[in-house]
Amino acid sequence: MHTAMTNRRIAVLGAGNMGRALITGLLRSGTRPEHLSVGEPSAASRERLARELAITAAADNAAAVAGASVVVLAVKPEEARAALGALAGHWGARPPLLVSVAAGLRVAALEAWCGPGVAVVRAMPNRPALVGAAATGLFAPRAVAAPQRAVAEQLLRSVGEVIWVASEDALDVVTALSGSGPAYLFLLAQLMAEAGERLGLEGTAARRLAAVTLYGAGLLATSGDGDLARLRAEVTSPGGTTEAALRVLEDAKLSDTVARALGAATARARELAAACPD
Ligand SMILES: NC(=O)c1ccc[n+]([C@@H]2O[C@H](COP(=O)([O-])OP(=O)(O)OC[C@H]3O[C@@H](n4cnc5c(N)ncnc54)[C@H](OP(=O)(O)O)[C@@H]3O)[C@@H](O)[C@H]2O)c1
């Protein structure tokens, strides 16, 4: 990793699932433990962090952020206001860059809670961050300078791939597509396994075949030029088994259904964001 990142002091607030995934990724990509501090109120989570990653977390966020040039907000959205409000006014002479992974919390609200001087970048990673294979959407308002954008990008790259989006609204679509996306693919794989079982496969075999198919298809989809339509065509010989199945999916209007599902998720992300107090 770039030295600009490895030499920075990074504080992570919240050592739950996403916080731990980020800490693991940072350590794996070269951040030294002494450059990493963690604020986490739960004694059980602090103990787990010490046991699994040999990182000592502070119960007090103010201690964790002291001297940090990057603060990662990885607490639940409903906990963010209190966590940041307690730190506002105590950032010291050089306020940090705040990188928030909290779903739905708008830049304006985060800036207001942090107080003046703190630059904010929002990230929307997904659950495969737990295995270093996240798809993350990143957004920064225009005022955030290029070096700070680069720092946020490197941080999220430690858990997977990063795609910048041009507007904050687009992050709601990222939430609908890649944020919730693993659930759609798990559902499809589950339905395939269940159908395979009904057609005569043993249950364990059907589930494993579905899961490994999901994994292998993912590897192919992310290698090469990523042309999904071509990859599908390559599996679909004229008059063959795949074509027979795809025709049934088309007849069932799968593309309309997927479009409506992502529309519903985007609308829900916007409702949740609107319900969040500034
Ligand atoms: N998990 C995902 O796949 C995913 C994907 C995209 C974005 N995110 C975002 O990531 C954030 C964390 O999600 P998660 O799944 O990791 O949740 P989580 O497992 O509940 O982790 C949140 C952690 O933050 C701790 N916490 C609570 N208040 C705090 C405070 N004031 N200061 C510091 N730490 C505090 C919690 O401690 P207690 O246990 O004591 O409450 C908990 O350990 C959320 O905002 C979510 O929107 C998650």
All structural domains of the chain, each given as residue ranges with its CATH number in brackets, are: 3-167 (3.40.50.720), 181-273 (1.10.3730.10)
Does the C-beta of 40 come closer than 6 Å to ligand 1? yes
What's the CA-to-centroid distance between 107 and ligand 1, angstroms?
Answer: 18
What's the CA-to-centroid distance between 189 and ligand 1, angstroms?
Answer: 28
Averaged pLDDT, 119-147: 96
Residue 66: band (very low, low, confident or very high) from pLDDT cuts 50, 70, 90: very high
Q: Which residue has the least CA distance to atom 35 on ligand 1?
A: 14
Residue 5 pLDDT exceeds 90: no
Residue type, 218: G
**What was the pLDDT predicted at 275?**
82
pLDDT tens sequence across 8-39: 899 999 999 999 999 999 999 999 999 999 99
Does the C-beta of 266 come closer than 6 Å to ligand 1? no
In sequence order, what are the residues at sequence separation of 6 or more whose Cβ sits closer than 8 angstroms to the Cβ of residue 158? 1, 22, 25, 26, 28, 29, 31
Q: Which residue has the least CA distance to atom 38 on ligand 1?
A: 42
Q: Which residue has the least CA distance to atom 43 on ligand 1?
A: 16
What's the CA-to-centroid distance between 231 and ligand 1, angstroms?
Answer: 37
Residue 278: band (very low, low, confident or very high) from pLDDT cuts 50, 70, 90: low
Angle at 158 between CA 21 and CA 51, to 5 degrees: 35
Which two structure tokens, joined as six digits, stand for 159? 């858990």
What's the CA-to-centroid distance between 76 and ligand 1, angstroms?
Answer: 4
0.75 cut: is pTM over it?
yes
Does the C-beta of 95 come closer than 6 Å to ligand 1? no
Q: What is the mean pLDDT of the chain?
A: 94
Q: Choose which residue among 40, 49, 73, 76 to substitute to test ligand 1 binding: the one with the highest number of ligand atoms within 8 A of its C-beta.
A: 76
The CA radius of gyration of the chain, in Å to the nearest whole number, is 21
Residue 55 pLDDT exceeds 60: yes
Does the C-beta of 181 come closer than 6 Å to ligand 1? no
- pLDDT > 90 fraction of the chain, expressed in percent and rounded: 91
State whether the Cα torsion 33-36-37-42 is positive or negative.
negative
pLDDT tens sequence across 80-130: 999 999 999 888 888 999 999 999 899 999 999 999 999 999 999 999 999
